[in-house]
Amino acid sequence: MFQLLASKTQSMKNDLLSGLTVALALVPEAVAFAFVAGVEPLVGLYAAFMVGLITAAIGGRPGMISGATGALAVVMVSLVAQHGVEYLFATVVLMGILQVLAGIFRLGKFIRMVPHPVMLGFVNGLAIVIFLAQMKQFQFADDNGVLQWLQGGQMAMMLGLVALTMAIIHFLPKFTRAIPSSLAAIVTVTLLVVFLDLDARTVQDVLADMTGNPAATIAGGLPEFGIPMVPINWETLSVIFPYAVILAAIGLIESLLTLTLIDEVTETRGRGNKECVGQGVANIVTGFFGGMGGCAMIGQSMININSGGRGRASGISAALFLLVFILVGASLIEMIPVAALVGVMFIVVIATFEWASFRLWGKVPKQDLFVVFTVTVVTVATDLAIAVVVGVILSALMFAWKHAKHVEFETWLENDGKTKVYLAHGPLFFASAQSFRDNFNAKGDPDDVIIDFKDSRVMDHSGIEAIDAVAERYVAAGKTLHLRHLSSECVSLLDKAGSLVEVNLIEDPKYKVADDQLA
């Protein structure tokens, strides 16, 4: 049954107030990402509203916030520049279809393949990215369009308001939890700036700087349905399909990693495959209603969780509040000082960064520390999707290298020296295949040889080939090779591969055990 709340004890008030806080933080983010992608601000705002609403309602992780993101925007910019915004809408629809298929075929489970060091690097890198993204709010464009740091009183005002915002968020929960501290901080700082007429940059100033229009606004109407105006032919598909695949992959990676992070924070478990379907449906709808598409947003999700928003109502209310801002509340939102939103995001950075990473030195293998550092750097330098892929590949290669050195053998003679037994220890796969082959001496061994796999396992086709190669040596030397304790899966692999050499598979020995139990 559909539940707005995460549990029966969850407060609807907390979800609604948390949703309002998130909506306030969504406005500048959605506008900024729209400009990164090269589209109008409303295209980003519509995406934040529709993606956020649909994923909150039918996705697999209550409390997670989705919307327009920078990771997707940087991929979209070249498509929009070369082919126009209508091709972007068509791409977003196809992206959504691919994500729904990923959920139907249960591909969300592959997020379990992401090792913990990659997760650490992911959250650390993302915290740094969120921090660096706020630095532009401490800058202004001079008459030549060159960014300069704020000077003197302006910088002091900005830093003071940011510090006040962070102080309210940190200390207010010690006195009361009646309202989310982030919302209280935004409202307090806004009222302070308005009533004291302080010279502080507002959301309106940010819009003016981005558009070059002093009268720029986020005000608009309801999104309207429309089929993307692109030719329906193979040429169009050849243009949008590569972008759709990349966007779908990035969106799912970011969403599923954010889901995993929230699972850890809340000590609950989301449903990855359901989230894939939810993200896909949201992007299909968004593409038909003039939005730029989106995925999970870790910053806003952490704001929501830290503000007490744990149920579906928090994400739904955030999307609806955002729509209200677009329709009737634009003038109020544009009054919010940017410093208040920056202060909220700085708190998110502090909460997101895994400070325990600094205490791992000397306590975990160096290769894990290398993965954490590499993923962090790649996340900051490129984007998180590339960073996660790099991290998984690095972890896999290090695992393979480590276990390639772990194939060892115990040997002994039986039947008065007529039979030699090799007891293998360690997995037999592509990285250990050569080491496995090098341990056998077909010419010097007796006529009867047994390879015992009790403490080993054949993992892939390279392992099968290694067994075949060893068998060929013994056949060529006129000797008999037996395989003992092969698992049923290993035997099946040998059969399917059509082993080139007929190897004598012997039955596992039967051991009679004395039973001291009284009758």
The pLDDT tens digits for 252-301 are 988 998 898 898 888 888 898 999 999 999 999 999 999 999 999 888 89
Q: Tell me the CA distances in angstroms from 349 to 29, 372, 470, 513, one per residue in order.
A: 15, 17, 56, 62
Looking at residue 496, its pLDDT comes to 63
| Domain annotation covers residue 101 | yes
Handedness of CA 19, 284, 218, 226 (dihedral sign): negative
Mean pLDDT of 140-162: 84
- The residue with greater pLDDT, 283 or 68, is 283
Same domain, 345 and 444: no
Mean pLDDT of 19-43: 83
Mean pLDDT of 390-409: 79
Same domain, 296 and 430: no
Q: How many domains does the chain have?
A: 2
Nearest to 276 by CA among 248, 299, 302: 248
Looking at residue 201, its pLDDT comes to 87
| Domain annotation covers residue 287 | yes
The single-letter code of the amino acid at 435 is S
pLDDT band at 516 (very low <50, low <70, confident <90, very high): very low
Q: Which residue segment(s) compose the domain that 40 sits in?
A: 12-352
| Domain annotation covers residue 313 | yes
- The residue with greater pLDDT, 23 or 71, is 23
Q: Tell me the CA distances in angstroms from 8 to 4, 33, 360, 375, one per residue in order.
A: 10, 36, 39, 39
The pLDDT tens digits for 314-364 are 999 999 999 999 999 888 888 889 898 888 888 878 887 888 888 877 777
Mean pLDDT of 175-181: 81
Domain end marker among 304, 329, 352: 352
| Domain annotation covers residue 397 | no
pLDDT of 148 higher than 90? no
Rounded (5°) CA angle 67-131-326: 35
Decide the pairing of beta strands 419-428 and 408-414: antiparallel
What's the token pair of residue 14?
């907390």
What percent of the chain shows pLDDT beyond 70?
A: 90
Domain end marker among 337, 352, 367: 352
| Domain annotation covers residue 390 | no
| Domain annotation covers residue 391 | no
Mean pLDDT of 237-251: 92
Q: What is the DSSP letter of 202?
A: B
| Domain annotation covers residue 400 | no
DSSP letters, 375-390, are: HHHHHHHS-HHHHHHH
| Domain annotation covers residue 398 | no
- Given a contact cutoff of 8 angstroms between Cβ atoms, the answer to whether 338 and 53 are in contact is no
Residue 454: which CATH number? 3.30.750.24
Rounded to an integer, what distance in angstroms lies between the CA atom of residue 504 and that of residue 502? 7
Rounded to an integer, what distance in angstroms lies between the CA atom of residue 128 and that of residue 465? 47
Domain end marker among 304, 337, 352: 352
Handedness of CA 276, 278, 279, 283 (dihedral sign): positive
Same domain, 162 and 260: yes
Neighbours of 359 (CB within 10 A): 10
Same domain, 291 and 184: yes
Same domain, 206 and 348: yes
Same domain, 348 and 417: no
Tell me the pTM: 0.72
**φ, ψ (nearest 5 deg) of residue 86:** -65, -35
